[in-house]
Structure 1
Amino acid sequence: MRRTAAGAAVAGLLLLLGTACGSRLPESDFGHRATTAPAPSAGPVRVGIVTSATSPVGGSAFTGPRDGAIAYFDRLNARGGIAGRRVEVRLCDDGGSGVGNNACVHRLIDEDKVIALVATTVLDYAGASRVSRAGVPDIGGQPIGPAYDTYPHLYGIYGSLAPRDGTPGWGGKLYGGTEVYRYFKRVHGARTAAVVSYNQSASAAYARLVTQGLKAEGYRVVPEQVDFALPNFRAVAADLKERGADLVFDAIDSHGNARLCQAMDQVGAHVVAKVTNVQNWTSTVPQDYKDSPRCRNALWVTGASRDYEDVSNAAVREFRDATKGLKTHSQWQLEGWVAAGWFVAAARGCAGGEVTRGCVDSFMSRGEPYTGGGLLLPVTYERLREPPVSRRACLSVARWRDGRGWVPQGDMNRTCFRVPQLGYRP
């Protein structure tokens, strides 16, 4: 349901188609204290991670959640695992195709007999219905597409209020809030927003969703469309300058974003904020935007998890310490870390240490909010018969500053607004 603050941000990936820790044993599953009592079975607890690591849009687009989850399980195993049982991770790269995804699902569920899937991040989740029919909990996946608002036993990282009865959302419609647009209007006084898209169906559809939310919040919207094959970003940037846009939202890929920013700097199109999404919440900004220093320092990002740069937070420090060997850091890595901790919390709730698909699923569907030790905004899974008309929605906000990285903007648990829920078809 949190489609604008985080879920809809992830939907942008569809457009690509066209912590100091001592020797003490921590609460490493974010609130459920680790134990060392031996389990009845000494065998490992097996989980699967499906990632489009070699997709047509490039592996780095999808591997962040996988890397964060692996880092979590590695640290957990070094500290004794789950009641003395190590977590064994089985990886599968689906190549970014539906055929490959179905093959991964079959191998992990039917052959490897995994207890659960964790941190699924794929371009085409063709095997989602098979996962659901098998009753295998899929925990903390990134909602690229509507699967996590369609099927039972699938628990996306941002939660869902949809019936999940085999049809996306409510009768084929999903709903999202306008909290991102409300934030920039209330906090920064923005009134004019540009929406940049490609002349490609998925990009245009996402741009319409953003435009709908902006108009609901009273913005004057400046639509900008560029040719997918031969984009003229300089012309778009010049028009943004002439029409006095305060904000720029986009429905284009990461490479296109960097080229748009470069063009904006070249023509002097300066805005209050160039708003990007969780996909681009990474430490590679200096390289990606190396030719556009002014636009680079106007980058803002919104989401539903605590800024991975916020090392004043103990849970973030734990994550950063465990992932310090990675070449880059990203928000998706942090969310993969949370997904792994979520599974461990569920597994530790299994009676007598016998971890089964059923007991893990029961934990996930119990209806209690989950925050990953403060790393997530409260996540819930309910099955409302009707979509909510409005909802109190919070968001995490950060902005890029050279020399400082992503700087958190206030407390995500207090940056909240009651906003309308607008329907759209995925």
Structure 2
Amino acid sequence: MQLSSPSRGRAADASARRRPGRVASGPQVFLLLLALLPAVAGCGTRLPDSAFTARATRPAGATPGATAGATAGTTAGATAGTGEGHGSANPASDTGVSATEIRIGVVTSLTSPVGSEVFSGPRYGAQAFFQALDDRGGLHGRTVRLVTCDDGGSGVGNQDCVHRLIDQEHVFAFVSGSVLDYAGASYVSGKAVPDVGGQPIGTAYDRWPHLYGIYGSAAPRDGRSVGWNGTLYQSTEVFRFFKQRLGAGSAAVVAYNQADSARYAGQLKAGLEAEGYRVLLQTVDFALPNFQAVAAAVHADGSQLLFDAMDGRGNAALCRALDEAGVTVAAKVTNVQNWSESVRDDYRSSPGCRNALWATSSSLDYEDGQYPAVRDFRAAMARYFPDRADKLSAWELEGWAGAQWLTDALDSCGAAPTRVCVEAFMNRAERYDAHGLILPASFVPQPPPTGPVRACLNAARWQDSAGGGQGGWVTQVPSMTTNCFDVPQLPYKP
């Protein structure tokens, strides 16, 4: 099951807090599914205009990056061929580091109540990256051994995974985590184990030090409270983008008659209204939703955009109702978690609605082969996980980017990597973009926002005519690093 919403913000997350160890069933599954609904903040990074000056003039096809030539292939080639740090010359410099390998942990809610595919993407992306790295000689003569753990989607399971990987497997760091309930976050932080490139589904990555989400964070992350004394911020670049790109001035928001869904729909409505939209808010019964009535209301209103606070089941049913009623919208906006090949089948019975799907994110389109880093990702996925050709997703690409980030941090340490050295790389002032795969991000704490910020995003649209008639996601902006807007930030309590 998947959820549809605008892409998450860098310093914001709309998920509700969950008690550790609570496993959902029935309607409770939906309550946990709502944790996947990112904040209305789009994917935007908060950068001054000067941060994009050089990128705006980069030649077409060039790959931006913080460390030139350090993709999964070239990093390994550069380090394996130098004679530096091979065999016994490598010191056992820190926990999880031996002369021949580095142990890295990956925790995923693979068998969660919401299904195996919802959280698995980042893990596959990271596995493909490190397999490609190891096949090319590893990093400074060491292979990277991934130790995986499935927490089952529960807080207790997550704590068990965290303790096992830290206390028994003695991993050096975590990478590209994607879990339903990160109940073990405080233990990871307390042990000063770097956690790099995780998906910020909950609020842990905006609270705890030593945790580095894939989108960066400007929050203090001192462990005392989430965000800035319990407040996070959502920005409105997603809505501004569609207003300017499609000339949209009206939008419908569909939610269940359930508290978390209604709360998130309220955030959507607030963000849209801050950008001057006329908003139609529609609520349906969770058990017996009347999507035909929603379709009729959207048609009568003339809504140009469609957002929702629902699960994949609801989205598919809503799209069927829209197609059956002959209702069209300029864009049905989904998020990075739904940016995947699965829409080919999920929306098979509603091709009209499927061709109105737009996705926004802080990362490149995983189908956009003009970028060498994307081509590296796709080649590795095809080689190591050929059975996932129909499951490729933006989350897999972001899992790969998280592995790239940790690898570059390790590489900065030379032949004697330490956690302190890795965290110095993560906490540096220079922003990082995983060789152009993600918008530049950092973890330098900033004061609470007081005015408009510069926020950027990528956008793609599903088109059945793309990919030789097979259908696919087609990037809709020349460059995500220049597709930027000065937008307000709206405070909220997670």
Q: Give your verdict on TM over 0.5.
A: yes
Distance in 2 between the 1:264 and 1:332 partners? 28
- Are 2:102 and 1:35 aligned? no
Identical positions, percent: 55
Question: What one-letter code is carried by the residue in structure 1 that aligns with 2:318?
Answer: L
Match of 1:276 among 334, 354, 365: 334
What is aligned with 1:338?
A: 401
RMSD: 2.1
Distance in 1 between the 2:380 and 2:73 partners? 14
Distance 1:116-1:370 versus aligned 2 partners, 3 A rule = same
Secondary structure in 2 aligned to 1:168? coil
1:169-196 CA-to-partner distances (Å, cap 9, x unmatched) read 1111111210000001111110111111
1:301-334 CA-to-partner distances (Å, cap 9, x unmatched) read 1000000010011111110111111232100000
What is aligned with 1:286?
A: 344
Displacement, 1:390?
Answer: 1.8
Contact 2:238/2:360, CA 8 A, preserved across alignment: yes
- Segments of 5+ residues of structure 2 without an aligned counterpart are 16-29, 36-67, 92-98, 467-471
Distance in 2 between the 1:10 and 1:291 partners? 32
Contact 1:304/1:376, CA 8 A, preserved across alignment: yes
Distance in 2 between the 1:10 and 1:362 partners? 25
Displacement, 1:197?
Answer: 1.1
1:9-58 CA-to-partner distances (Å, cap 9, x unmatched) read 9857976159xxxxxx9632599673122251423101000000000110
What is aligned with 2:40?
A: none
- Residues 148-297 of structure 1 aligned to structure 2 (within 5 Å): 148-166=205-223, 167-297=225-355
- Are 2:490 and 1:422 aligned? yes
- Are 2:106 and 1:49 aligned? yes
TM-score (norm 1): 0.94
Distance in 1 between the 2:338 and 2:106 partners? 22
- Segments of 5+ residues of structure 1 without an aligned counterpart are 19-24
Distance 1:258-1:397 versus aligned 2 partners, 3 A rule = same
What is aligned with 1:16?
A: 33
User: Aligned pairs, how many?
Assistant: 418
What is aligned with 1:371?
A: 433
Contact 1:5/1:179, CA 8 A, preserved across alignment: no
Contact 1:274/1:299, CA 8 A, preserved across alignment: yes
Contact 1:4/1:176, CA 8 A, preserved across alignment: no
What is aligned with 1:380?
A: 442
Displacement, 1:198?
Answer: 1.2
What is aligned with 1:98?
A: 155
Contact 2:430/2:442, CA 8 A, preserved across alignment: yes
Distance 1:244-1:178 versus aligned 2 partners, 3 A rule = same
1:334-379 CA-to-partner distances (Å, cap 9, x unmatched) read 000000011110111114x122222211211112200111111111
Distance 1:236-1:152 versus aligned 2 partners, 3 A rule = same
Secondary structure in 2 aligned to 1:35? helix
- Are 2:456 and 1:394 aligned? yes
Deviates more, 1:171-180 or 1:5-14: 5-14
Distance in 1 between the 2:325 and 2:453 partners? 40
Secondary structure in 2 aligned to 1:210? helix
What is aligned with 1:21?
A: none
Contact 1:140/1:156, CA 8 A, preserved across alignment: yes
Distance 1:32-1:425 versus aligned 2 partners, 3 A rule = farther
